[in-house]
């Protein structure tokens, strides 16, 4: 991917957790204890994962979040700064502990996760208002659902009003209202989340197209249903197609979706088509599943480009670098 004249500006609003990970042969059933292997503690949280993924993929990232005024929170902020992420809007609270995720990863790389939201549940619309003045300098807002829904709505509404393109990764799955979806340019559910949002059982490509139409009818611009190693189903109202994934040996799929979304945001902000951006994001996600941990698994820009060149024979077509008169990249609307 060729360098753009201007580093894309990505705002991420979301969660920050510390992940405590045990690798085991299998995920225990209710009432069962299994002996695991090595224990690992790593930075995580869907919002933080996406912020780190976007920064490593080449974006200039500002993260809006809440952490506890505790050791986990202090470490998280220090980690964001090491990644070059603007953390001025990562707020500390003494009224709740930092978020924690307990994760078990089985021998196939699949995982089971329990989250204690802690400070993430205190990220408020008022916190968003403190950051919205800075939104004017951004290209894309990236959201997930590990923070209160009222906060997600406020962020999407504020970003849309200031000309940012809005990407919502609807995870963990929950019911969403049409007012929120009307402010979403690109929705990125996995198959389970798409089923939850639409009531459509997804088994075939036709099911994916049907679910995507339902979501677009509710106001969403484009839908990308992530399919793991198979890639992503893309529906933009003009056509539907599957953008193939890349075959790799999976070690841990914990942050694959987050890495996909972070890389997608950067590629779109650089002017790529949705299909090209999805392919770039597929490559980033494929690299991430070959590594253990959430944020540690996110690849850097040069790694993604080398991967694409090796798999496709090129690093993909260069971004279009469309610019508006004010110097910002044009954001495509539906």
Q: What is the CATH number of the domain that holds 179?
A: 3.40.1190.20
In a domain, 30, yes or no: no
What pLDDT does 314 receive? 58
In a domain, 87, yes or no: no
What pLDDT does 71 receive? 96
What pLDDT does 16 receive? 97
What pLDDT does 332 receive? 34
In a domain, 133, yes or no: yes
Report the 3 state secondary structure along the chain. CCCCCCCCEEEEECCCEEEEEEEECCCCCCCCCCCEEEEEEEEECHHHHHHHHHHHCCCEEEEEEEEECCHHHHHHHHHHHHCCCEEEEEEEECCCCCEEEEEEECCCCCEEEEEECHHHHHCCHHHHHHHHHHHCCCCEEEECCCCCHHHHHHHHHHHHHCCCEEEECCCCCCCCCHHHHCCCCEECCEHHHHHHHHCCCCCCHHHHHHHHHHHHHCCCCEEEEECHHHEEEEECCCCEEEEECCCCCCCCCCCHHHHHHHHHHHHHHCCCCHHHHHHHHHHHHHHHCCCCCCHHHCCCHHHHHHHHHHHHCCCCCCCCCCECCCCCECCCCC
In a domain, 322, yes or no: no
In a domain, 61, yes or no: yes
From 177, 207, 258, 326, active-site residue? 258
What pLDDT does 276 receive? 96
In a domain, 57, yes or no: yes
Please tell me whether the overall predicted TM-score, pTM, comes out greater than 0.85 for this model: yes
What pLDDT does 62 receive? 98
In a domain, 232, yes or no: yes
Q: Which residues of the chain have pLDDT under 50?
A: 1-4, 317-334
In a domain, 222, yes or no: yes
Q: 326 an active-site residue? A: no
Task: Give me the number of domains the chain comprises.
Answer: 1
**Domain containing residue 54:** 46-65+125-312
What pLDDT does 315 receive? 53
What pLDDT does 5 receive? 58
What pLDDT does 149 receive? 97
What pLDDT does 205 receive? 95
């Amino acid at each position: 991917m060729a360098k753009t004249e201007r580093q894309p500006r990505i705002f991420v609003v979301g969660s920050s957790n510390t992940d405590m990970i045990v690798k085991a042969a299998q995920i225990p059933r209710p009432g069962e204890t299994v002996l695991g292997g090595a224990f690992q503690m790593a930075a995580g949280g869907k919002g933080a994962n996406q912020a780190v993924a976007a920064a490593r993929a080449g974006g200039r990232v500002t993260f809006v979040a809440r952490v506890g005024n505790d050791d986990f929170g202090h470490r998280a902020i220090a980690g964001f700064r090491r990644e070059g992420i603007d953390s001025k809007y990562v707020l500390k609270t003494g009224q709740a502990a930092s978020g924690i995720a307990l994760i078990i990863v089985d021998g196939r790389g699949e995982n089971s996760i329990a989250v204690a939201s802690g400070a993430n549940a205190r990220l408020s619309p008022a916190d968003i208002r403190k950051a919205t003045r800075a939104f004017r300098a951004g290209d894309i807002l990236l959201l997930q659902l590990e923070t209160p829904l009222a906060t997600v709505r406020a962020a999407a509404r504020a970003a849309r009003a200031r000309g940012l393109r809005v990407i919502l990764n609807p995870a963990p799955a929950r019911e969403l209202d049409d007012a929120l979806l009307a402010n979403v340019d690109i929705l990125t559910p996995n198959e389970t989340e798409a089923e939850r949002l639409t009531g459509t059982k997804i088994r075939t490509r036709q099911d994916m197209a049907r679910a995507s139409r339902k979501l677009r009818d509710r106001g969403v611009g484009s839908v990308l249903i992530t399919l793991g190693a198979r890639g992503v189903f893309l529906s933009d109202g003009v056509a539907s197609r599957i953008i193939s994934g890349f075959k790799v040996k999976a070690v841990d799929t914990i942050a694959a979706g987050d890495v996909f979304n972070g890389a997608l945001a950067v590629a779109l902000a650089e002017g790529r088509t949705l299909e090209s951006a999805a392919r770039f994001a597929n490559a980033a996600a494929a690299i991430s599943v070959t590594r253990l941990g959430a944020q540690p698994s996110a690849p850097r820009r040069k790694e993604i480009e080398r991967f694409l060149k090796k798999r496709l024979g090129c690093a993909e077509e260069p971004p279009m670098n469309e610019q508006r008169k004010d110097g910002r990249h044009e954001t495509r609307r539906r």
